[in-house]
Amino acid sequence: MAPAQSKLAQQSALTGLRAKGGAAVFAALVALVYLRRKVVQAAAEAAEKRNRQMLTTPQIELAQRDLYNPLPGGARELLVPARGRVSKVLIKPTKATTFARHRPLFRKPPPAPRSASSTAPPSAGAAAQRVGVNKEFFRQLSAIFRIIIPHATSKEVWLVGAHTAFLLLRTYLSLLVAQLDGKLVGDLVSANGKGFLRGLCYWFLLAIPSVYTNAMIRFLQSKLSISFRTRLTRYVHDLYLDKNATFYKVVNLDSRIGASGADQFVTTDINRFCETLSALYSNVSKPTLDLILFNIQLGRSIGGRGSVGLFLSYLATAWILRKVTPAFGKLAAIEAKLEGDFRAAHARLIINSEEVAFYDGAPIEKDILTKAYLRLIKHVNSIYKMRILYGMTEDMVVKYLWSAAGYCLISIPVFFPKARKLAAAAAGTSVETKDPAKQKGGDGLSISQRTENYISNRRLLLSLADAGGRLMLSWKDLSELAGSTSRVYTLLSTLHDLSTSTYTSLPRPADLAPNAPFYDLGTLNGRFITDAPPEEGVTLDKVPIVAPAPGVARGGEELVHQLSVRVKPGEHLLITGGNGTGKTAIARVLAGLWPVWDGVVVRPDDTKIMFLPQRPYLSSGSLRDQIIYPHSYPDFVKSGKTDEDLMEILRKVHLSYLPSREGGYDVRKEWKDILSGGEKQRMGMARLFYHLPKYGVLDECTSAVSTDVEGSMYQHAKDVGITLMTISHRPSLFKHHMYLLRLTGHEGQWEMTQIGEAEQSLSFQKEIESLQAKLAEVETWKNRLSTIDAELHFKET
C-alpha cells in the first residue's frame, strides 16, 4: 500500500472510530439522564409514601399517651416516637438472678495497703491513678463483657462474626489489589496493551467488592457499638431506677459517682466505652491480620532473613513507642470526669434558672461555668501537648523508619541475586526468563518483572506500615479504653452495691469519745419493715434520725435521738420544729431513702403510704400524667377511673379550670414552667386524692397555698380516710391533727403531745408575743403623735 493511501485509510479509520466513540458517549449520556430521572422519581415516590404514613405532632402525642403496653412477665412494649411514627420496642427487665450472678464480678478488689495515719476514704483521684492497661483493666473488661455479650448465641456474637468475615475479605482484597497493581505497572513498562486493559477490567471488578466491604465494616462496627450501648444502658437503667431508689442513693449515700450525679456516666461514658471497644476490635484485628498475611507474602520475595529483619524492626518500634506513650487511660478518665462536672454545672443552671434570674446571678454563674470549662480545657490542652512528642515519634518510626527498612529489604534480591535465588528456590519458582533479550539485571529478571515485583512489594510495605501504624495507634485506643472501662465499671459496681444497700465502711476515728455514737454507713443495725398491715400503723421504735455523710471520716450526724412514735389509723400527726432540726429527715427514713442505723421502723407497703415532698415535682407528659403520677396511662385505665373522676379531684384542689385552659388532659407541656408555685403544690394534693393511700406523709407541701384552700384540702383528705403525718410550721394546721411531735433542735431532743394542750399553750404563747410586739411600738406611736401635734400647731400659727 502506497504511503498516501495508507494515510487515507488511517484517517478514515480514525474518523469512523471518532464517530463510533461519539455515538457511544451520546448513548451513555442519554442512558445516564434516563437513569437519573428514574432514580429521582423513585425517591420522590418513596418520600411521598413515607410522608403519607407519617403522623402529625398531635397524633404522635396521642399515640404516645400510653407510654407502654404491659406484657405478661413484667415485660413492656415501650412506645417510642421515631421518624414521624411511633414504634413499639419490647423491653424485658433484667432478671434478679442475672444481677445476683453478676454482683460478685462488680465487687471492688481489696484496697491497696494505705498508711496507718490515713483515715480518709480513697478518692476518685486515687482510683484514677491505677487506671491503665493492666490486670485490673482486663478483670473489669471481662466483667462488663458478661453484660454486653450475655451468651454465645447473642446478636453481638453474630455481629462480631460478620465483622470478622468482612475484615478477612478486605485483607484478601488488599492482597489482590497489591498484586494487580504490580501487574498493571509491569504491563505498562513492557508495553503489553492487552494485558494492561485486562488488568484495568480486573481493577474495576475488584473495586465493587472492595467498596462494599469497606462500607459494611463501618456499618457493622457502628451496629456493634449501638448494640453494646443498648445492652449496657438498659442494664444500668434497671439497676439505677430500681425499687430501692438507687438513683437517690448514688448522690446522697455514696461518694464514688460524685455529687454531679450519674448522668455523665450513663449518657457519655457508656457511649464512649462502646465506641472505643467496637472500633478497637477492627483496629486491632485488621492490622494484625494484615501484618501476618502481608509478611508472609512479602517473605516470598525478600526471604526468611528479610522477614526476621522486619519482625525485629516491629519489636524495636513497639519498644520505642511504649517509652514515649503517656498514660492515656488515666488522662481519659480525668477528662471524662471534668466533662461531667462542666455538664453538671450547666444542668444546675437550667434547673435553677428562675432563682438565678431573680437574684441577677448571671455574672457569678458565668464565672462558675467558665471555671469548670477552663479546668477541662487546661487538662485537654495538656493532653494535646503530650501528644506532640508521641505523634512525632510515631510518625517517624512508622512512616519513615519502617519504609526505609522496607526499601532495604526489597533491595536485597536486586543487589544480592544469591539471596533472591535462594528465596525463589524456597518458594519453588524459577527466576530465569526464557527471553534473553529481556534479561537485564544480575537478578535474572527483566525490567518489567522487576518493576512489577517492586510495585507489589512497595504496596505491601505501605500496607504493612499502615497496619503497623494502626496497631500502634490502637495501643493508645486501648489505654483510652482502660479509662472509660474504669468509669463504666465504677458506675456498675456502685449501682450493684447501692441496690443491695451495701455501703462503703469507714474505720472509727481515733479521737472520737468511746461512748459517742459513730454512724458509719457500713454498720447498720436497724430494721426496716415495709409490709405491715395498714391497721398496725406507722411505727418508729428507738430510731436515731441521722444525716448520712458518705466518705466523711467522722460519720453521719445525729439529728433526732432515739425517736419513738406510733401513728395508728386516724391519729393524724403534726411534726414541727425549727429549720434543720430533722423533720424532713424523719420522712426520708420512713421512705427508706436514709438508712435505719438502729431500732425498728414498721410501715405498710408503697401502695398504702404516700410521700408528698417539700419541692413539688412535675413530670414530663400530659396533664393527666401530672395528676396520676407515678402511674402512667395504662395503670389509669386499669384502675377503672375516668377523666370525670379526675375533674372531681381537680375541683377538690381548686384546679378545675386547668383542663379547659390548657386544652384537655392529653396535652403535653413543660408543666413545671407553666404552673405557679401554689398550683404545683395543689397538683401534689390532687395526686394524693387520686391514689388515696392509707397514710399520707406531707412535707410542707401546702406552704404556698392560701390557708382557706389548704384547710379544705386537709379536711377532704381526712374525709376520704387518709391518716396524715404532716410536717409544717403553720399553726392553722393544728386543728386537723391529733398529735404534735416537736423537735427541739437541742441535742436531738423531741417531745410528743396531744394537740389540744399544745394548741392551747401555743395560742397563749402567741397572744403574749403579739401583746409584747404591740407594746414595743407604743413609743413609736407616741413620737408620731407629738410630731403631728407640732405640725398642726405650726400651721395654725
Ligand X SMILES: Nc1ncnc2c1ncn2[C@@H]1O[C@H](COP(=O)(O)OP(=O)(O)OP(=O)(O)O)[C@@H](O)[C@H]1O
Q: Which parts of this chain interact with ligand X (CB under 6 A)?
A: 252, 547-548, 559, 577, 579-585
Say how far apart CA 181 and CA 460 lie, in whole Å.
Answer: 10
* Cell 498516501 -> residue: 4
Q: Which three cell numbers stand for residue 33?
A: 439522564
Beta bridge partners of 538: 567
Asked whether the beta carbons of 763 and 611 are under 8 A apart, the reply is no
Nearest distance, CB of residue 253 and ligand X, angstroms: 8
Nearest distance, CB of residue 493 and ligand X, angstroms: 22
Q: Which three cell numbers stand for residue 703?
A: 406552704
**Axis-axis angle for helices 447-499, 155-189 (nearest 10):** 160
* Cell 526468611 -> residue: 304
Say how far apart CA 505 and CA 758 lie, in whole Å.
Answer: 42
Nearest distance, CB of residue 577 and ligand X, angstroms: 6
DSSP 592: T
Residue (278 or 494) nearer to ligand X, CB:
494
Nearest distance, CB of residue 496 and ligand X, angstroms: 22
DSSP 269: I
In 325-416, which residue ranges form alpha helices assigned H by DSSP?
A: 328-351, 353-359, 362-395, 402-415
Residue (252 or 656) nearer to ligand X, CB:
252
Residue (164 or 703) nearer to ligand X, CB:
703
Nearest distance, CB of residue 705 and ligand X, angstroms: 17
* Cell 399515640 -> residue: 63
> What's at 436, amino acid-wise?
P
Residue (299 or 577) nearer to ligand X, CB:
577
Residue (593 or 600) nearer to ligand X, CB:
593
> What's at 134, amino acid-wise?
N
Residue (447 or 752) nearer to ligand X, CB:
752
Nearest distance, CB of residue 398 and ligand X, angstroms: 53
Residue (252 or 712) nearer to ligand X, CB:
252
Nearest distance, CB of residue 252 and ligand X, angstroms: 4
Q: Which three cell numbers stand for residue 605?
A: 407497703
Say how far apart CA 226 and CA 738 lie, in whole Å.
Answer: 58
Nearest distance, CB of residue 492 and ligand X, angstroms: 23
Nearest distance, CB of residue 708 and ligand X, angstroms: 23
| Among candidate residues 615, 605, 511, 517, the one with its CA nearest the CA of residue 560 | 517
Say how far apart CA 301 and CA 307 lie, in whole Å.
Answer: 10
Q: Which three cell numbers stand for residue 561?
A: 435521738
Residue (727 or 758) nearer to ligand X, CB:
727
Residue (226 or 549) nearer to ligand X, CB:
549
Residue (255 or 288) nearer to ligand X, CB:
255
Q: Which three cell numbers stand for residue 714?
A: 386537709
Q: Which three cell numbers stand for residue 794?
A: 405650726
> What's at 601, amino acid-wise?
V
Q: Which three cell numbers stand for residue 155?
A: 446478636
Nearest distance, CB of residue 97 and ligand X, angstroms: 33
In what helix (H) or strand (E) does residue 545 lie, and over which residues does it extend?
A: strand 538-547
| Among candidate residues 594, 608, 577, the one with its CA nearest the CA of residue 526 | 594
Q: Is the dihedral of CA 549, 553, 559, 562 positive or negative?
A: positive
Nearest distance, CB of residue 594 and ligand X, angstroms: 8
Nearest distance, CB of residue 519 and ligand X, angstroms: 11
> What's at 133, amino acid-wise?
V
Asked whether the beta carbons of 409 and 306 are under 8 A apart, the reply is yes
Nearest distance, CB of residue 587 and ligand X, angstroms: 8
Q: Which residues contact 656 (CB under 8 A, 6 or more apart)?
A: 647, 650
Question: CA 707, 711, 716: angle at the middle one, nearest 5?
Answer: 150
Residue (386 or 549) nearer to ligand X, CB:
549
Asked whether the beta carbons of 482 and 329 are under 8 A apart, the reply is yes
- Residue count (the chain): 797
Residue (325 or 581) nearer to ligand X, CB:
581
Asked whether the beta carbons of 574 and 737 are under 8 A apart, the reply is yes
Nearest distance, CB of residue 558 and ligand X, angstroms: 10
Nearest distance, CB of residue 767 and ligand X, angstroms: 24
Residue (533 or 677) nearer to ligand X, CB:
677
Residue (334 or 559) nearer to ligand X, CB:
559
Nearest distance, CB of residue 68 and ligand X, angstroms: 32
Say how far apart CA 257 and CA 550 lie, in whole Å.
Answer: 11
Residue (534 or 748) nearer to ligand X, CB:
748
Would you call 684 exposed, middle or buried from its count of C-beta atoms within 10 A (0-12, 13-18, 19+)? buried
Chain CA centroid to CA 493, Å: 15
Beta bridge partners of 68: 78
Residue (347 or 547) nearer to ligand X, CB:
547
Nearest distance, CB of residue 582 and ligand X, angstroms: 4
Would you call 84 exposed, middle or buried from its count of C-beta atoms within 10 A (0-12, 13-18, 19+)? middle
> What's at 727, amino acid-wise?
I
Nearest distance, CB of residue 729 and ligand X, angstroms: 7
Strand locations in 395-535, DSSP E? Answer: 527-529
Tell whether omega for the bond before 630 is within 30 degrees of 0, i.e. cis. yes
Beta bridge partners of 611: 697
Residue (176 or 547) nearer to ligand X, CB:
547
Mapping DSSP to helix (H, G, I), strand (E, B) and coil, where does residue 257 land?
A: coil
Beta bridge partners of 87: 80
Residue (102 or 583) nearer to ligand X, CB:
583
